[in-house]
Amino acid sequence: MLLIWNHSFGRQEQQDLVVCRPYAIPESYEEMEMLEDGWLALDRPLLYEGRYQECFYQSRSTRLNLKKYRASASQPQWQGKTIQMMEIRPEQQNIEMTGLRAVYQKYLKRSGFTDLYDPFQHVSDRDAFLIYYLTDVTNIIGFSKIKRYWYQEELLSYNNRRDIVNAMPDQCYAIESVLHCNTVPISKLTVDMEAKWAKKKGIHELYLGSGYERSSIYKSSYRGFQWWTGTEWSSNKKKYVQLCQRDSTLKKITDLANL
């Protein structure tokens, strides 16, 4: 594993503060170990030594231990209609034909979130999309971008991830739900659907990306929830909720420097 330190910001005249983003370029066989140490695959390549490479990043990662997870017996519904789910794997060149970008724009407008990155700009071999729809596939009300992570033995047995995807797309160690984009507020329902889907495939863990601010508190409502403290995977939901609430209250650099 090659560590990269992105020194983003600092203060030293009136405050002692350094903001540094840690990234890592793993060896191909290190994916499972990286996940266990709180790393997740960045959704865009980084320029390093003259070429773009896939990197992993550190954060307050979250996940569901699917051995402890218990699926809801009821069918997820929205306004009396059953929500259905389907996986698609569009290539980079035809992503615009899926209609997902329109869903993404409606999601940003509904949630008020800033468009921090384009989930369609980079679609790698490990990426796919789960779409949620009512009645028929033309009535899409949301989607999740997902990433697959494989065992060392699988990665060493194939030339690249594309070969793995073609040969055995469901045989992976873990799945990460990178981004939930919904035109209606169904994130709690879609996480439940993803967990059921992944558990049926024999997946061990469903990662839910980073857990910051109040909008991430809902992730802790599921049985089997864990979050990365920086040194271990914790099941302390109360502490996690406190941290998320604190994240949203910090408004100034001085607040951050005084933590």
Question: Model confidence over 17-40: pLDDT tens digits?
Answer: 888 899 999 887 788 889 999 999
Tell me the domains of the chain and their CATH numbers. Answer: 61-257 (3.40.630)
**Residue 242, beta-bridge partner list:** none
CB 208 within 8 A of CB 62: yes
CA angle 40, 116, 134 (to 5 degrees): 85
pLDDT of res. 160: 61
Q: What is the pTM of this model?
A: 0.87
Distance in angstroms (rounded) separating the CA atoms of residues 46 and 23: 9
pLDDT of res. 131: 95
Distance in angstroms (rounded) separating the CA atoms of residues 108 and 151: 35
**Residue 206, beta-bridge partner list:** 64, 175
Pairing of strands 127-134, 39-41: unpaired
On the 0-12 / 13-18 / 19+ scale of CB atoms within 10 A, 241 is middle
**Residue 207, beta-bridge partner list:** 63, 176
96: pLDDT strictly greater than 70:
yes
Helix or strand holding residue 215 (H, E):
none
pLDDT of res. 121: 87
Q: What tens digit of pLDDT does each residue of 122-157 get?
A: 888 889 999 999 988 889 999 999 999 887 656 656
Average pLDDT over residues 215-238: 95
Average pLDDT over residues 64-85: 89
pLDDT of res. 248: 93
3-state secondary structure of 206: strand
Q: Which range among 49-58, 147-156, 184-193, 213-222 shows the weakest confidence by mean pLDDT?
A: 147-156
Average pLDDT over residues 34-50: 91
Q: At 228, list the tokens.
A: 């990365």
106: pLDDT strictly greater than 90:
yes
169 vs 209, more confident: 209
Q: At 66, list the tokens.
A: 């699917």
Residue 6 gets the label, from left (phi > 0), alpha (psi -120 to 50) or beta, of beta
Q: Which range among 25-39, 96-110, 147-161, 174-188 shows the weakest confidence by mean pLDDT?
A: 147-161
Taking all residues of the chain, what is their mean pLDDT, rounded to a whole number?
87
Other beta carbons within 10 angstroms of residue 242's beta carbon come to: 12
CA 252 to chain centre: 27
Distance in angstroms (rounded) separating the CA atoms of residues 64 and 67: 9
How far, CA to CA in Å, does 212 sit from each of 15, 59, 61, 172, 178? Answer: 24, 9, 9, 27, 14
Using a pLDDT cut of 70, give the percent of the chain over it: 92
